[in-house]
Amino acid sequence: MTGTITIGILNDSADRGGPMGLDDGGPGDLAGWIEREARSLIEAGRLCGSVAIVHAYALGLPGGTADALEAAYRRLAETPVDLVIGPFVGDNARVAAPLAEALRLPTLICTDEDRARGRHVFQLQTGNPAQEAALIAGHLRTLECRAPLVVHDATPFGERLARQFAGQGALHGFAPSAIAALDERPEPAALDTVVAAATAPHSAPSCDALVYLGQGHPARALAARLRSAGFTGPCLTNCASAAAITLDAAACEGWFHVATVSVRNPVLARALETHAAALQDAPSIALGHDVARLVGEAMARAVGPGRSGLRLGLEQVTWLDAAHGDPGTKLGFGVYERAALHGPYLVMRQWRGAQSVDVG
């Protein structure tokens, strides 16, 4: 494709640059990743045009508003851009999705919200509620746990995860010993009630594990109380929760968590080495690598200029090696396929010594 392709990056967790690390020159600087990929394609003779990158910022949900997110998205559309990368928060992806369809603007969301996909909305998954629930249920079965206490956020997201887990539990032949919902900042009495349910000596069935499902905010306080009460069963949590807990992983020492990165993946290992990045930067490195590969291939394969050309280009991207997931995880879309990651992109990890390590 010739001419200039304009890419918009929508940072939906800030009203100015920096907090998400999408444009700060660090491991997660998406503009840098895309520019390097474009240069490589130009040198290989696969891309004849130039690439321009513009940024937009919004304090979207949950801390801000849907109106702020919509305004930032429209600013990119009016620039005009040929492709939007973002939002990166599931609630904001659902706000942006109808705009993408109305404006016929191809948009690559990087969230766990699969319900936002559409003709013009492509997804690089950062998780998936149904698949995460299946992985957690399967790991409980491996651990020979049959009666987990299920604790979830008192939010639509937490409730959705809990429903998915209940279905997977039935498939594996077990049921929760109890189910509890916690607010984002639960009162001590609510935490004590959960701990009592986990440690009750004569409950039927007796709790043999704890599964926390949500955004991770109450998890550290809950973990501390469980330790004080002498609870020794395994604790497991989902991707979004783990991302929050990672800021203070020592608080949840020993917990298992779902992740989208594995150091066993040679693509990720090479990217970490190339960029001299620390292991804790693996999620940012994987995101930058995979976004750049998807966008770069879409630009190289675009059959024409503008938005429709980029949408068709994305549909032709297939079977690229991904930095996310276990070895063998692939990237690609299709005429009716809008999820980028295929194969074992969700992995189980555990916090040991305040570090996240692969399990198995």
Assess contact for 219 and 241: CB atoms under 8 A.
yes
What is this structure's pTM?
Answer: 0.94
The larger pLDDT score, comparing residue 258 to residue 278, is at 258
Residue 124 CB partners (closer than 8 Å, separation 6+): 108, 109, 110, 287, 290, 291, 294, 340, 341
Superfamily of segment(s) 129-259: Response regulator (3.40.50.2300)
User: Tokens standing for 128?
Assistant: 């998936």
Q: Check if 4-127+263-344 and 129-259 are the same fold.
A: yes
Kindly list the domain boundaries of the chain, sorted by start residue. 4-127+263-344, 129-259
What pLDDT is attached to residue 101? Answer: 98
Q: What is the pLDDT at residue 20?
A: 53
- Positive or negative: CA dihedral 139, 143, 148, 154: negative
Cα separation of 342 and 338, whole Å? 11
Q: Is the pLDDT of residue 201 over 80?
A: no
- What's the pLDDT tens digit per position in 269-321? 999 999 888 888 999 999 999 999 999 999 999 988 899 999 999 999 999 99
Question: How many CB atoms sit inside 10 A of residue 170's CB?
Answer: 11
Q: What residues does 56 pair with on adjacent strands?
A: 10
Q: Confidence band (pLDDT; 50, 70, 90) for 19?
A: very low
In this prediction, residue 305 carries a pLDDT of 81
For 4-127+263-344, CATH number?
A: 3.40.50.2300
Q: Which amino acid is at 93?
A: A
Cβ-contact 181, 129 below 8 angstroms: no
Give the pLDDT of residue 81: 98
